[in-house]
Amino acid sequence: MTNVTTAAADPTEPGTPAPTRQARGEQTRQLILETALRLFRERGYAETTMRAIAKEAGVAVGNAYYYFDSKEHLIQGFYDRNQDEMRVASVRVLADEKEFAARLRGVMHVGIDVNGPYHSFAATFFKYAAEPSSPLSPFSSASSPARDASIAIFRDVLDGSTVKLDPELRKELPELLWLGWMGVILFWVYDKSPDQRRTRRLIDGAVPLIDRMVSLSRLRVLRPALRQILALIESVRRDD
């Protein structure tokens, strides 16, 4: 992309089917986002400057800020894309398997598969997601659609399985599994082992334990303990 052209002064040709005004804007938006994500992948997040993104996309730097509030906001595009990829891949896994443990394990491995290629990239921008005030935080209200979608996957893991468990626990479990998944992601971000094998081992080791505990939730002897745990969750969730 030789950048000698006067990008702005280029009049639209009278013969071409003119795109609508909105479509043109959306086109620029996509161009900037694609360029940014490509450069992030090629050079890393910190090493990619807004000037470089603008230059590579053939627009002015201010134009990027017309579509994205900040450099951080460009990450959201990556975020959404991966989220969706995990959802799609999960469907395939869940279609073939009816046992709870296998379903849970499958979904988690799929999640790591999907994110794997971006491990080093994810580690660098993880700090932005960690800031409580950031809209990128998985706990932020801005992320609540993505969060709900993710929890829905785990609800599907549970509801599509043959496992029997305490009804009270069943209500809470999808969110708890999502929370556990966030823990796995946290571990994964810090995992420096080749191909993040330790994270795989964590999943393979933790899933049977979770499966066991979920099954035991129906035992009458453990009822008081379960109640205590559920009460703790309820108490902590309370927002005062």
The residue among 28 and 140 lying less far from its own copies, judged by its C-beta, is: 140
The residue among 26 and 148 lying less far from DNA, judged by its C-beta, is: 26
Q: How many other β-carbons are positioned within 10 Å of the β-carbon of residue 3? A: 9
From 68-76, 149-157, 173-181, 209-217, give the range in contact with DNA by CB under 7 A: 68-76
If one asks whether residue 3 binds DNA (CB under 7 A), the answer comes out as no
From 43-51, 109-117, 161-169, 176-184, give the range in contact with DNA by CB under 7 A: 43-51
Fill in the per-residue mask, 214 to 233: x = in contact with its own copies (CB under 8 A), - = not in contact: -----------x--xx-xx-
Q: Give CB contacts under 8 A, 24+ apart, made by 159-162.
A: 160/94, 160/98, 160/103, 161/98, 161/99, 161/100, 161/103, 162/98, 162/99, 162/100
In single-letter form, the type of residue at position 181 comes to W
3-state helix vs strand vs coil in the chain, percent to 5: 75, 0, 25
If one asks whether residue 236 binds its own copies (CB under 8 A), the answer comes out as yes
If one asks whether residue 238 binds its own copies (CB under 8 A), the answer comes out as yes
Cα-Cα-Cα-Cα dihedral of 185, 191, 194, 195, to 10°? 0
Could you say which of its own copies, DNA, none residue 206 binds, taking C-beta under 5 to 8 angstroms by partner kind?
its own copies
On the 0-12 / 13-18 / 19+ scale of CB atoms within 10 A, 154 is buried
Contact positions vs its own copies (CB under 8 A): 123-124, 126-128, 130-134, 137, 139, 189-190, 192-194, 197-198, 201-202, 205-206, 208-209, 212, 225, 228-229, 231-232, 235-236, 238-240
